[in-house]
């Protein structure tokens, strides 16, 4: 089956998925993307997998419509890429995959309607990440979904949003279309501990993410303050990342007089294995995330997870008291209880980390590619059924 995937910007973790999908469909995958937005490193990585079927385009113009805010989806990003429709049709796809409903998906939709090509949406949003969506976004999505043949979702929360909110038929949704690039993080056990950890007490908690309001770091610090009042030997917290909230968060640490809380700043992806290896648990306090990739990365490194309910991956990846704890960062008591439970777990943290390894081992690039291919088969068979 010839598949064309329209994705304006992708991260490195997508490249292994594209490689596996290309193998499944017999070397007939092409990816149309923005070479400008993707960058040379990722472009070359994809070209190494697909060759000239990695179709990079330049000259995209974009603007935002609607109100802006700290959280996602207040407005709409409207993109125009000259020659995009022509590039899609030139690949002669038997099935189209478009990333989400916006950005370059309208061009894929036009191609689908013009040539009657089955259309699959690769979708990652959940009710949590869409709770701030404006009426324009909601109306547009409800209209477009009528022309979609199948949806390949990250996980169950994404599927539930498509079925319950968008009214898409559950039988035409597939889950499992996400996989983090966990191979590098799985080698973390041999990495030397970064200097920041050497004088910090155990258990050592790690928080990784851009320092912006939606990541929920402020709520984590508030919970840490309350937990420390209940347990003298709570442990330590290292925060990795940078962003516009850095000064506000540092001021909060000072005002709350938090001990053993350290901001490490930005760390390159290649150096992250050492940080995962040196911590005892990962804390993800996000207020909205589709499928936070630091969670499967830490799991591949053998770490238990304290995960926010607003992270789209928790039903699949974080099993309560098996490999971690799930909490609501907007409920102070919930976050405090999770921190205290992890702090008091002792040697069980190592056992839970091994459970993390076993769970995340099922979420491979091959499995993600198989989920997308299954969605493509559903889409093609649906169109064939219509033709009959």
Rounded to whole angstroms, how far apart are CA atoms 284 and 335? 11
Predicted TM-score (pTM) of the model is 0.91
Residues of the chain with pLDDT > 70, as a percent, come to 94
Structure tokens at 62: 């974009």
CATH for 185-360, among 3.50.50.60, 3.30.70.100, 3.40.50.720, 3.40.50.2000?
A: 3.40.50.2000
What's the pLDDT score for residue 236?
A: 98
Fold identical between 3-179+364-387 and 185-360?
yes
What's the pLDDT score for residue 298?
A: 96
Cα-based torsion angle of the residue sequence 344, 345, 349, 355 in order, rounded to the nearest 10 degrees: -140
What's the pLDDT score for residue 387?
A: 53
Cα-based torsion angle of the residue sequence 317, 345, 222, 251 in order, rounded to the nearest 10 degrees: -100
What's the pLDDT score for residue 67?
A: 61
237: left (phi over 0), alpha (psi -120 to 50) or beta: beta
What's the pLDDT score for residue 388?
A: 42
β partners of residue 173 = 151
Q: What is the mean pLDDT of the chain?
A: 93
What's the pLDDT score for residue 194?
A: 93
Sort strands 324-327 and 305-308 into parallel, antiparallel or unpaired. Answer: parallel
Q: What is the three-class DSSP state of 3?
A: strand
Domain definitions of the chain by residue range = 3-179+364-387, 185-360
Question: Which portions of the chain are predicted below pLDDT 70?
Answer: 65-76, 186-191, 386-388
Write the CB contacts of 54 (distance below 8 Å, at least 6 apart in sequence). Answer: 30, 31, 33, 43, 46, 47
Q: What is the architecture, at CATH level 2, of domain 3-179+364-387?
A: 3-Layer(aba) Sandwich (3.40)
What's the pLDDT score for residue 69?
A: 62
Q: What is the three-class DSSP state of 12?
A: coil
What's the pLDDT score for residue 128?
A: 87
Residue 207: other Cβ atoms inside 10 A: 27
The b/e string for 120-144 (b: 16+ C-beta within 10 A; e otherwise) is bbbbbbbebbbebbeeebeebbeeb
DSSP 3-state percent helix, strand, coil across the chain (nearest 5): 45, 20, 35
Q: What count of residues does the chain have?
A: 388
């Amino acid at each position: 089956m010839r598949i064309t995937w329209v994705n304006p910007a992708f991260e490195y973790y997508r490249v292994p998925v594209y490689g596996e999908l290309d193998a499944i469909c017999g070397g007939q995958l092409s990816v149309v993307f923005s070479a400008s937005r993707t960058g040379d490193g990722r472009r070359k990585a994809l070209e190494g997998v697909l060759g000239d079927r990695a179709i990079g385009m330049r000259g995209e113009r974009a603007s935002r419509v609607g109100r802006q805010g700290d959280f996602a989806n207040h407005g709409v990003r409207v993109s125009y890429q000259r020659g995009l429709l022509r590039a899609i049709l030139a690949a002669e796809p038997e099935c189209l995959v478009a990333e989400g409903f916006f950005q370059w998906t309208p061009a894929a939709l036009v191609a689908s309607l013009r040539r009657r090509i089955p259309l699959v949406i690769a979708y990652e949003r959940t009710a949590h990440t869409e709770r701030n969506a404006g009426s324009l976004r909601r109306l547009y999505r409800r209209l477009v979904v009528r022309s979609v043949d199948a949806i390949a979702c990250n996980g169950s929360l994404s599927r539930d949003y498509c079925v319950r909110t968008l009214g898409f038929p559950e039988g035409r949704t597939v889950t499992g279309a996400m996989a983090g690039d966990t191979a590098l993080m799985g080698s973390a056990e041999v990495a030397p501990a970064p200097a920041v950890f050497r004088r910090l007490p155990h258990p050592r908690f790690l928080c990784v993410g851009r320092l912006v309001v939606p990541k929920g770091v402020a709520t984590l610090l508030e919970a840490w303050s309350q937990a420390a009042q209940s347990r003298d030997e709570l442990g330590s917290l290292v925060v990795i990342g940078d962003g516009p909230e850095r000064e506000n968060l540092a001021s909060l640490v000072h005002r709350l007089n938090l001990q053993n809380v350290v901001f490490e700043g930005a760390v390159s992806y290649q150096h992250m294995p050492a940080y995962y290896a040196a911590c005892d648990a990962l804390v993800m306090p996000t207020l909205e995330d589709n499928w936070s990739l630091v969670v499967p990365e830490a799991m591949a490194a053998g770490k238990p997870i304290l995960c926010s309910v607003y992270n789209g991956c928790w039903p699949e990846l974080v099993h309560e008291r098996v490999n971690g704890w799930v909490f609501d960062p907007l409920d102070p008591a919930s976050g405090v209880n999770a921190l205290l439970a992890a702090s008091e777990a002792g040697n069980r943290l190592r056992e839970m980390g091994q459970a993390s390894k076993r769970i995340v081992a099922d979420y491979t690039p091959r499995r993600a590619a198989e989920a997308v291919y299954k969605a493509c088969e559903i889409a093609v068979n649906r169109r064939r059924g219509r033709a009959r």
